[in-house]
Amino acid sequence: MIRNVLFVCVGNLCRSPIAEALLRRALPTLRVASAGTRAQPGMPADPHAVAVMQSHDMDISKHRAQRLNPSLCAAHDVVLVMDKVLKQYVLSCYPQLRGRVHTLAEESIDDPYQQSYDAFAECYACIAEAVGAWQPRLHALAQVSVRDVS
């Protein structure tokens, strides 16, 4: 049964906090978190990310970055990353995640860090579409118990 989903990007300031908020709103019964492979712990979400999310009635102003680590990996059933390169990096650092790491979308979701508000708005649209595509699958997996699968 899927109960815990982790979104991973590089800095945990833009893409993964957006995805975290979107999935948390869509599937409130799941425990959803985000982290970055090179995150500086405690950093707030990018101001453009906060503004884009506010325009969609979501508040990520209290988000603080955290770095991906072994305990986060162990605590999550599914890890969704922003591109294939990041997937390979995560698996090289945490081979125990094999089978649990997936790309959020078919195409890479580009990092809007240090770009314009419009780049963040475009990133939001890509993430919203990808989270929407994952939503039915995650919802179904959250409903299936281990006994049902065996």
Separation CA 81–CA 101 (nearest Å): 7
Residue of 14, 73, 83, 111 marked active site: 111
Q: How many residues does the chain have?
A: 150
Helix (H/G/I), strand (E/B), else coil: 78: strand
**Catalytic residue list contains 25:** no
**Catalytic residue list contains 15:** yes
| Other C-beta atoms lying within 10 Å of the C-beta of residue 113 | 17
Give buried/exposed letters for 93-107 (b at 16+ CB in 10 A, else e): ebeebeebbebbbee
| Residue carrying the six token digits 């179904």 | 140
Residue of 9, 73, 123, 126 marked active site: 9
Residue of 15, 24, 46, 123 marked active site: 15
**Catalytic residue list contains 9:** yes
**Which among 21, 51, 20 has a CA at the least distance from the CA of 35?**
20
Helix (H/G/I), strand (E/B), else coil: 73: helix
Q: Which two tokens stand for residue 134?
A: 């994952």
Contact criterion met (CB below 8 Å) for 33 and 72: yes
Give the residue numbers annotated as catalytic, written as ranges. 9, 15, 111
